[in-house]
């Protein structure tokens, strides 16, 4: 494995972060959606450092596309003038576009002038160093961390990286049903967790709250993540994405194709998980959403709690939901 290419000015030695090396007390590897996160630390990891959910994503070593992050404990001296212009201000981060990449200056909750952490990344967010303050150090020692970056969520990093790889996070419930990837999307309270429970006995559950969609040479796929909601079931599994269902609770079970691509795009955009949303991030991500809608059939799904919608969805997939959905009236499911 090689050293990540250094930038012309590299005050935090990001270019010296090296892909590879044996997994052990200070280095672990996690695979997610075709990426490998190589997580290193100045302090040794314990078996209880990270939440048990990460065991589903643990891999033996680096992959073809590896992101390297290194945890340090203690804050360096920060000269804001050398970090470049601030492109996002206010808790929890002041984010600077630096000459060598990006700097995320963490603001302590309730103390706008107190810096409690610093994260620095190269331009592509594929190499990063985390300088953790006292609060993060205490979190590390307590263990059962919900993120490998010690950020509030790893989506802050991953959503940036994915945009360069035709990928995005969607606020959604994801399952694999008879080998077909399925996403249920909707506002909070629309029934994503309820739908997941209805399909639990006949499908592989990927994640009830955040899933990754990536376009690969062979088509669009859905990938499970560790960013679960109220249902603590996660999977590193993946499958071709064959259908997206926009949810609404109803008195009867109905499936209606969304024939207008603009309507489908407008339904998905609010479900995007947004990191530092720069102009280039938006451009790449909106192009991806349009591709997803073009290649994956979308439906409006009304359902009650009887569970009778499950065979209807299975039959829809078996009948060839991988092909573009033809316009048509809603189909009522016998109840």
| pLDDT at position 44 | 98
Which range among 24-38, 107-121, 303-317 shows the weakest confidence by mean pLDDT? 107-121
> Kind and range of the H or E element at 238?
strand 238-249
Cα 240 from Cα 218, distance rounded (Å): 9
| pLDDT at position 228 | 94
| pLDDT at position 92 | 87
Tokens 């150090």, located at residue: 137
What proportion of the chain, given as a percentage, has pLDDT over 70?
Answer: 92
Give the closest residue to 175 by CA, choosing from 159, 195, 190, 146.
Answer: 195
| pLDDT at position 193 | 83
pLDDT tens across 239-271, in order?
Answer: 999 999 999 878 888 999 999 999 999 999 999
Residue 253 · residue 304 · CB < 8 Å: yes
pLDDT(332) > 70: no
Backbone angles phi, psi at 193, to 5 degrees: -65, -35
pLDDT tens across 201-226, in order?
Answer: 899 999 999 999 999 999 999 999 99
Q: What is the largest CA-CA distance in the chain?
A: 67
Cα 299 from Cα 169, distance rounded (Å): 19
pLDDT(324) > 90: no
pLDDT tens across 133-153, in order?
Answer: 999 999 999 999 999 999 999
Question: Residue 169 is encoded by which pair of tokens?
Answer: 């996070």
Residue 258 · residue 298 · CB < 8 Å: yes
What is the rounded average pLDDT for all residues in the chain?
90
| pLDDT at position 293 | 98
Domains of the chain, each with CATH number or no CATH: 14-152 (no CATH), 167-332 (3.40.50)
Alpha helix (H) residue ranges in 39-175:
134-142, 155-163
pLDDT(323) > 70: no
């Amino acid at each position: 494995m090689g050293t990540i290419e250094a930038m012309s000015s590299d005050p935090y030695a990001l270019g010296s972060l090296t892909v590879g090396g044996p997994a052990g007390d200070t280095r672990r590897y996690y695979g997610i959606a075709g990426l490998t996160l190589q997580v290193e630390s100045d302090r040794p990891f314990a078996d209880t450092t990270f939440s048990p959910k990460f065991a589903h994503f643990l891999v033996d070593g680096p992959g073809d596309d590896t992101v390297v992050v290194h945890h340090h404990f203690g804050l360096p001296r920060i000269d804001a003038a050398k970090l470049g212009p601030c492109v996002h201000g206010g808790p929890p981060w002041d984010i600077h576009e630096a000459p060598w990449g990006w700097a995320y200056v963490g603001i302590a909750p309730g103390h706008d002038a107190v810096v409690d952490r610093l994260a620095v990344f190269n331009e592509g967010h594929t190499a990063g160093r985390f300088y953790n303050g006292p609060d993060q150090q205490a979190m590390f020692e307590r263990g059962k961390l919900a993120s490998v970056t010690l950020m509030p969520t790893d989506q802050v990093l991953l959503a940036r990286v994915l945009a360069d790889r035709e990928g995005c996070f969607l606020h959604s419930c994801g399952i694999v049903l008879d080998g077909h990837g399925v996403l249920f999307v909707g506002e909070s309270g629309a029934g994503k967790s309820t739908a997941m429970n209805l399909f639990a006995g006949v499908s592989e559950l990927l994640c009830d709250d955040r899933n990754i969609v990536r376009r690969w040479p062979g088509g669009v796929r859905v990938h499970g993540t560790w960013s679960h909601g109220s249902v603590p079931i996660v999977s590193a599994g993946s499958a071709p994405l064959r259908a997206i269902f926009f949810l609404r609770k109803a008195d009867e079970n109905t499936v209606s194709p969304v024939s207008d691509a603009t309507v489908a795009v407008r339904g998905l955009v609010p479900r995007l998980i947004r990191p530092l949303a720069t102009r280039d991030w938006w451009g790449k991500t909106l192009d991806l959403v349009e591709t997803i809608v073009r290649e994956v059939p979308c439906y409006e799904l009304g359902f009650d709690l009887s569970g009778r919608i499950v065979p209807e969805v299975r039959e829809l997939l078996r009948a060839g939901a991988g092909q573009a959905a033809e316009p048509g009236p809603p189909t009522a499911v016998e109840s």
